[in-house]
Amino acid sequence: MGYITQPYQLLICLQLFLFYSQCSAILCSHDQSSALLQFKQLFSFQISRPKMMSWKEDADCCSWDGVTCDSATGHVIGLDLSCSWLHGNIPSNSSLSLLPRLRKLNLAYNDFNYSKISSGFTDQFPSLTLLNLSWSNFAGSIPPSLSNNITQLADLDLSYNSFTGQIPSSFSNLQQLRHLDLRGNNFVGEIPASLGNNITQLAYLDLSYNSFSGHIPSSFSNLQQLRHLDLWGNNFVGQIPASLGNNITQLAYLDLSSNSFSGQIPSSFSNLQQLRHLDLRGNSFFGKIPDMFTNLTQLSFLGLAYNELIGSIPSSIFDLLNLTLFSLSFNNFSGSVELYDFAKFKNLKVLALSNISLSVSTKLTVNSSFPNLSDLDLSACNISEFPDILRTQHQLEWLDLSKNQIRGSLPDLPPHMVRLSISNNSLTGEIPSSFCNLSSIRYIGLSNNSLSGQIPQCLGNSTLETLDLGMNNFQGTIPQTYAKGCNLTSLRLNGNQLEGPLPPSLINCVNLQFLDVGNNNLSGPIPEYLRNSTRLLFLNVRNNSLSGPIPEYLGNSTLEILDMRMNKFSGSLPQTFAKSCVLVSLNLNGNRLEGPLPPSLVNCRHLEVIDVGNNQINETFPHWLDVLPELQVLTLRSNRFRGPIGDTKTRVPFRKLRIIDLSYNRFTGVLPIWYLNGFKAMMHGDDNSIKVNYMRSANYSYYESISLTMKGNDIQMERILTTFATIDLSSNRFQGEISKVLGKLKSLKSLNMSHNNLTGGIPSSLRNLTALESLDLSSNKLAGRIPTQLASLNCLEVLNLSNNQLKGPIPGGPQFNTFGIDSYSGNSGLCGFPLSKSCSIDEASEPTTPTGFIEGDDASSWFDWKLAMLGYASGVVIGLSIGYMAFVTGRPQWFVRMIERKQSRKLTRVIRRGRAGRRSFLVHL
Ligand SMILES: *[C@@H]1O[C@H](CO)[C@@H](O)[C@H](O)[C@H]1NC(C)=O
Ligand SMILES: *[C@@H]1O[C@H](CO)[C@@H](O)[C@H](O)[C@H]1NC(C)=O
Ligand SMILES: *[C@@H]1O[C@H](CO)[C@@H](O)[C@H](O)[C@H]1NC(C)=O
Ligand SMILES: *[C@@H]1O[C@H](CO)[C@@H](O)[C@H](O)[C@H]1NC(C)=O
Ligand SMILES: *[C@@H]1O[C@H](CO)[C@@H](O)[C@H](O)[C@H]1NC(C)=O
Ligand SMILES: *[C@@H]1O[C@H](CO)[C@@H](O)[C@H](O)[C@H]1NC(C)=O
Ligand SMILES: *[C@@H]1O[C@H](CO)[C@@H](O)[C@H](O)[C@H]1NC(C)=O
């Protein structure tokens, strides 16, 4: 017996009326229709023909779209306004309260503009059995009173809104509830245990994609009708109660993925004979997979990836003949597995075995195939040859063989391939021309191999979205022809030997976001057409022979990373950076640019790196950059910058700066104390956080890198530790004294002020630079003694004080004793080890520093010594140093020496003997 919702039903009813005289002529009372019309007034409509357009005053409301009446009484019992394009707020006391017989209320897929559900909302509808408010932009918490009067409610759907807060424990009043869907909100807190005690009819429970926490209540084992349980994407912890498997034997769908569940997978799951979908991925389950699958014959989806499972794959898994998805990736299994064992699963579509520590044999031993396999992930499986499967699996669409040791040349691929990744292998030879026949291909990743020859031109005019051929030996040109409607978003050809210009028809790829052609031999200009690539985020052309000007439009672009270093660009920089600028990294090092630096660069508030070193910029110090709140690296090295640094009005100038390189310019005047004082980022000297983080762009696998001089060598630092700090002011014309303020910059690793005209003494406050590994003050006019406190700088690897006017004894100590005479040459007044000139009694008894340079309490230095020595035994120092030096290309000699020295130091105990002379003896054990 249906309700009257459509005109034709009315017609049927009228016919029935003729026979049975049962239908009343006017079903809808005036009260009801005016209540509905009032409700209609609350909303504006976003399209012209929503359901409510059929609601007219003169018509029977039972005939309106979305309205259902009881055919006997004429009461409105159902209101379905889903997808009605309603837009507006629902007030706490709406006219809907005049429809107290409402049983079903569906307001899904509208926009209620973050309305809250008022506490009396459901009081109005005591007969409600269905309430659907999903996808409708509701917000706020669920009032506990929601469940008071609606004890008949069987179906509650609040999914995909912005609800917050906890599930009220009063929900346990809803004893008729069968279907509860709260997914996609911001709910928090634990699941009330009473839910499991009282709502025993529950068949469908979806709490996924919220922020729920705590355990699965053991009361859940009462939910014996439960068929669907989805807790995906919350913060649940703890073990899965074994009773779940014992009692909820109807369960067909169980998704616990992306939580923090731990413990073993309960073997009681073997009772869940209806189970079709079991997803435990992304938790911390450990131990072996129980051999429990014999009776789970319905299982079609089995996700175990991203856990800590060990042992071998239980044999009963191979009974699961209905499996369509099997994902084991990222676990710690042992033993070996035969790829073709999985060929038993004739319905298998997706097989993911990457990073499972199993040796996967891919030899075709039996004449078996995977008739339905479309997605195969064998990355990091220790495979050394292409699996034979490629020859037989014509339906394969996704294939990941990356991070293996596959040698030899690329085979022809199944023609319907959509996504192919074979990066990080040892492939050689050319890309076969059969790649031109891949009619559905969207992703090709072949980076980090040894492929060579030309890149097939057809790959430009293709269906590709990503082409990543970086780090190979490709020659010839970049594919030149890109068809109209080109869908390429990412083109990565970096690290090859490509020549010629950037292709003009790339203009057709309007969705291009990543263009990485760095480290090739490209020539010609940056084409004007990139102006049209309004989605470009990442442009890396570094280390080519590109020339011409830097296009002005790059200042008004969507770029976040712009790396044009080491080319032949000339002329000025773009002069106008727009207010909307989102640049994070600007690297123009090593070109022929003349500047000036545009003051509008300060519009780029997110800038972290500015590197314009090694150009011909003839300008004064760009002090206006000091307001950039995120700037961490500023390199002006080797230009024609000139004049004094000048003062600043910024309260905390350069607040995040960690790396500043002004070397090889013509700066004059005194050292910029006011700036040094402002370098807050360099003052947090706590390097004991072993966490090794590099500056990188989270969105792209792009690590910031710079070239700088450290420890007397020009080095290219391929990755920059987020704790790395250095100041290089060398080879300028700075004058005056070295301020003791420098001692505050505790996280400094390298300080270079050589080749200036500095006078006065070396401040003993430098001993606070406990992270310092390189100190170069050479070729100045520094006078007085070397402060003995510097001997406590136990990280110091390189010291250069040569060519000054220093005098008196050279401090001794484990670190100082490793420096050779080069560190001190050209100071005629110095004496003691390692110089051949020994100190006279007079020299030894003079004050350690010239008057005015004694800072800190000398009595504390004994304590410093002990601390410094404690550091030797721990691996902290070496760990950190290797951390940031490991990516330095071409290890210079001092690096090797440093590592050797640090290693021998680990075996060194320091024994202090007597107070006199404060000498220590190194004993190698
Ligand atoms: C609903 O419950 C409230 C108490 O929470 C009560 O005052 C009210 O009378 C009830 N309404 C109906 C229609 O039962
Ligand atoms: C659960 O239901 C019982 C009646 O079956 C009731 O007495 C009890 O109060 C309910 N518990 C909660 C927490 O609502
Ligand atoms: C689970 O169900 C079994 C019978 O199937 C019953 O003996 C046991 O008490 C139930 N456990 C719980 C916690 O309800
Ligand atoms: C599988 O089911 C059969 C009968 O349905 C039963 O005899 C057997 O014990 C079950 N095996 C397991 C491991 O639960
Ligand atoms: C596989 O699933 C189908 C239903 O999808 C079912 O009819 C069939 O019995 C299952 N096969 C096995 C071997 O259990
Ligand atoms: C780009 O994508 C669209 C939508 O998927 C598709 O219709 C079009 O054919 C694609 N263009 C090319 C060149 O493959
Ligand atoms: C691109 O390829 C299609 C066939 O795949 C061809 O018809 C078309 O002419 C090509 N376009 C260009 C510009 O080469």
Find where tokens 């005056």 sit: 736
Ligand 1, atom 14, lies closest to the CA of 149
CB of 273 within 6 A of ligand 4: the answer is: no
* Helix extents (H) in 713-760: none
CB of 322 within 6 A of ligand 5: the answer is: yes
Between CA 206 and CA 204 the distance in angstroms is 7
* Residue in 169, 197, 201, 219 to alter for ligand 2 test, most ligand atoms within 8 A of Cβ: 197
Between CA 654 and CA 631 the distance in angstroms is 7
CATH number at residue 714: 3.80.10.10
Between CA 569 and CA 312 the distance in angstroms is 58
Q: Which domain holds residue 901?
A: 869-924
Atom of ligand 2 nearest to the CA of 198: 1
CB of 481 within 6 A of ligand 6: the answer is: no
| pLDDT at residue 648 greater than cutoff 70 | yes
Q: pLDDT: is 454 or 395 the higher one?
A: 454
| pLDDT at residue 842 greater than cutoff 80 | no
**Residues comprising the chain, all counted:** 925
| pLDDT at residue 1 greater than cutoff 70 | no
| pLDDT at residue 158 greater than cutoff 90 | yes
**What's the gap in Å between 462 CA and the centre of ligand 7?**
8
Q: Which of 853, 881, 910 is the last residue of a domain?
A: 853
Which 3 state secondary structure label does DSSP give 351?
A: strand
Measuring CA to CA, which residue among 555, 561, 590 is closest to residue 575?
555
Tens of pLDDT, residue by residue over 237-285, are 999 998 888 889 999 999 999 999 999 999 999 999 999 999 999 999 9
Find where tokens 């199993």 sit: 358
Ligand 7, atom 1, lies closest to the CA of 461
**What's the gap in Å between 197 CA and the centre of ligand 2?**
8
Q: 860 pLDDT band (50/70/90 cuts)?
A: very low
Angle, CA 115 vertex, CA 113 and CA 120 arms, to 5°: 160
Q: Report strand pairing: 407-408 vs 375-377.
A: unpaired
Query: Mean pLDDT throughout 518-538?
Result: 88
Between CA 789 and CA 918 the distance in angstroms is 12
- Cα 368 to the center of its chain, rounded Å: 41
Question: In the prediction, which pLDDT does 845 show?
Answer: 57
Between CA 476 and CA 456 the distance in angstroms is 10
Question: In the prediction, which pLDDT does 710 show?
Answer: 63
What is the number of domains present in the chain? Answer: 2
Let me know if residue 631 belongs to a domain.
yes
Let me know if residue 457 belongs to a domain.
no
Ligand 6, atom 12, lies closest to the CA of 463
Whether residues 811 and 879 fall in one domain: no
DSSP bridge pairs for 41: none
Let me know if residue 584 belongs to a domain.
no
Measuring CA to CA, which residue among 522, 579, 532, 584 is closest to residue 553?
532
Q: pLDDT: is 358 or 862 the higher one?
A: 358
DSSP class of residue 409 equals: P
Q: 673 pLDDT band (50/70/90 cuts)?
A: confident
| pLDDT at residue 685 greater than cutoff 60 | no
Let me know if residue 477 belongs to a domain.
no
Question: In the prediction, which pLDDT does 423 show?
Answer: 96
Q: 288 pLDDT band (50/70/90 cuts)?
A: very high
- Cα 224 to the center of its chain, rounded Å: 41
Q: 717 pLDDT band (50/70/90 cuts)?
A: low
Ligand 6, atom 7, lies closest to the CA of 485
Between CA 471 and CA 858 the distance in angstroms is 55
Find the helix packing angle between 861-873 and 876-885, rounded to 10°: 70
Question: In the prediction, which pLDDT does 319 show?
Answer: 87
Q: pLDDT: is 692 or 467 the higher one?
A: 467
Q: pLDDT: is 65 or 713 the higher one?
A: 65
Which 3 state secondary structure label does DSSP give 784?
A: strand
Range from 81-85, 309-313, 474-478, 749-753 carrying the lowest mean pLDDT: 81-85
Question: In the prediction, which pLDDT does 877 show?
Answer: 26
Tens of pLDDT, residue by residue over 384-397, are 888 888 877 788 99
Whether residues 819 and 888 fall in one domain: no
Ligand 6, atom 5, lies closest to the CA of 487
Let me know if residue 25 belongs to a domain.
no
Let me know if residue 181 belongs to a domain.
no
| pLDDT at residue 124 greater than cutoff 90 | no
Range from 9-18, 129-138, 182-191 carrying the lowest mean pLDDT: 9-18
Is the link from the previous residue into 850 a cis peptide, with omega within 30 of 0? no
Atom of ligand 4 nearest to the CA of 295: 1
* Helix extents (H) in 664-744: 673-676
Range from 127-141, 376-390, 890-904 carrying the lowest mean pLDDT: 890-904
Most confidently modeled range among 721-735, 823-837, 871-885: 823-837
DSSP class of residue 680 equals: G
Between CA 791 and CA 388 the distance in angstroms is 65
| pLDDT at residue 690 greater than cutoff 70 | no
Please check whether residue 356 is in contact with residue 333, taking contact to mean a CB–CB distance below 8 angstroms.
Answer: yes
* Residue in 436, 444, 463 to alter for ligand 6 test, most ligand atoms within 8 A of Cβ: 463
Atom of ligand 4 nearest to the CA of 294: 13
| pLDDT at residue 428 greater than cutoff 60 | yes
Sign of the Cα pseudo-torsion (291, 296, 297, 298, in order): negative
Tens of pLDDT, residue by residue over 552-593, are 999 888 999 999 999 999 999 999 999 999 999 999 999 999
Whether residues 919 and 815 fall in one domain: no
CB of 505 within 6 A of ligand 5: the answer is: no
CB of 270 within 6 A of ligand 4: the answer is: yes
- Integer angstrom CA distances of residue 807 from 127, 735, 736, 787, 812: 97, 20, 19, 11, 15
**What's the gap in Å between 175 CA and the centre of ligand 1?**
17
Q: 529 pLDDT band (50/70/90 cuts)?
A: confident
Between CA 448 and CA 686 the distance in angstroms is 37
**What's the gap in Å between 195 CA and the centre of ligand 2?**
10
Whether residues 677 and 803 fall in one domain: yes
Q: Which helix (H) or strand (E) holds 864?
A: helix 861-873
Which 3 state secondary structure label does DSSP give 603?
A: helix
Query: Mean pLDDT throughout 731-752?
Result: 90
| pLDDT at residue 880 greater than cutoff 80 | no
DSSP bridge pairs for 67: 79
* Residue in 322, 323, 346, 372 to alter for ligand 5 test, most ligand atoms within 8 A of Cβ: 322
Between CA 99 and CA 126 the distance in angstroms is 10
Atom of ligand 4 nearest to the CA of 292: 13
Whether residues 838 and 885 fall in one domain: no
Q: 815 pLDDT band (50/70/90 cuts)?
A: confident
**What's the gap in Å between 396 CA and the centre of ligand 7?**
25
| pLDDT at residue 188 greater than cutoff 90 | yes
| pLDDT at residue 19 greater than cutoff 80 | no
| pLDDT at residue 23 greater than cutoff 50 | no
Q: pLDDT: is 515 or 85 the higher one?
A: 515
Let me know if residue 312 belongs to a domain.
no
Please check whether residue 293 is in contact with residue 317, taking contact to mean a CB–CB distance below 8 angstroms.
Answer: yes
**Cα-only R_g, the chain:** 36
Which listed ligand is nearest to 299 at the C-alpha?
5
The one-letter code for the residue type at 554 is L
Strands (E), 628-729: 633-635, 642-644, 659-661, 666-670, 696-697, 702-703, 706-710, 713-717, 726-728
Whether residues 891 and 795 fall in one domain: no
Tens of pLDDT, residue by residue over 407-419, are 999 998 888 999 9
**What's the gap in Å between 155 CA and the centre of ligand 1?**
20
Whether residues 783 and 825 fall in one domain: yes
| Total Cβ atoms within 10 A of residue 741 | 16
Let me know if residue 858 belongs to a domain.
no
Which 3 state secondary structure label does DSSP give 337?
A: strand
Q: Which helix (H) or strand (E) holds 894?
A: helix 893-906
Whether residues 702 and 833 fall in one domain: yes
Range from 323-327, 364-368, 837-841 carrying the lowest mean pLDDT: 364-368
Whole-number percent of the chain with pLDDT over 70: 82
Please check whether residue 244 is in contact with residue 265, taking contact to mean a CB–CB distance below 8 angstroms.
Answer: no
Q: Which of 793, 822, 853 is the last residue of a domain?
A: 853
Whole-number percent of the chain with pLDDT over 90: 52
**What's the gap in Å between 246 CA and the centre of ligand 5?**
23
Ligand 5, atom 3, lies closest to the CA of 298
CA dihedral 34, 35, 36, 39 (to 10 degrees): 120
Tens of pLDDT, residue by residue over 200-240, are 999 999 999 999 999 999 999 999 999 999 999 999 999 99
Question: In the prediction, which pLDDT does 399 show?
Answer: 94
**What's the gap in Å between 296 CA and the centre of ligand 4?**
10
Measuring CA to CA, which residue among 316, 356, 252, 236 is closest to residue 284?
236
| pLDDT at residue 871 greater than cutoff 90 | no
Whether residues 833 and 890 fall in one domain: no
Q: Which of 829, 853, 877 is the last residue of a domain?
A: 853
Q: Which helix (H) or strand (E) holds 245?
A: helix 242-247
Ligand 4, atom 9, lies closest to the CA of 295
Q: What is the residue-wise DSSP string for 107-172?
A: --S-B-TTEEPPTTGGGG-TT--EEE-TTS-EEEEPPGGGGSS-TT--EEE--SSEEEEPPPGGGG
What would the two tokens of residue 840 be?
């006279």
Most confidently modeled range among 49-53, 84-88, 147-151, 828-832: 828-832
Please check whether residue 629 is in contact with residue 604, taking contact to mean a CB–CB distance below 8 angstroms.
Answer: no
Residues 6 or more apart from 496 whose CB is under 8 A from it?
Answer: 469, 470, 471, 472, 473, 474, 475, 519, 520
* Residue in 172, 174, 177, 195 to alter for ligand 2 test, most ligand atoms within 8 A of Cβ: 172
**What's the gap in Å between 173 CA and the centre of ligand 2?**
7
Whether residues 818 and 886 fall in one domain: no
CB of 119 within 6 A of ligand 1: the answer is: no
Whether residues 884 and 823 fall in one domain: no
| Total Cβ atoms within 10 A of residue 315 | 11
CB of 486 within 6 A of ligand 6: the answer is: yes
CA dihedral 302, 306, 311, 317 (to 10 degrees): 10
Which listed ligand is nearest to 127 at the C-alpha?
1
Please check whether residue 626 is in contact with residue 654, taking contact to mean a CB–CB distance below 8 angstroms.
Answer: yes
φ/ψ bin of 830: left (φ > 0), alpha (ψ from -120 to 50), beta (otherwise): beta
Q: Report strand pairing: 473-475 vs 499-500.
A: unpaired
User: Residues lining ligand 7, judged by CB closer than 6 Å?
Assistant: 461, 481, 483
Measuring CA to CA, which residue among 486, 589, 563 is closest to residue 529?
486
| pLDDT at residue 657 greater than cutoff 80 | yes
Tens of pLDDT, residue by residue over 41-95, are 888 766 655 678 888 887 888 889 899 999 888 899 999 998 888 888 888 778 8
Whether residues 787 and 881 fall in one domain: no
Question: In the prediction, which pLDDT does 701 show?
Answer: 56
CB of 148 within 6 A of ligand 2: the answer is: no
**Rounded mean pLDDT of the chain?**
82
CB of 246 within 6 A of ligand 3: the answer is: yes
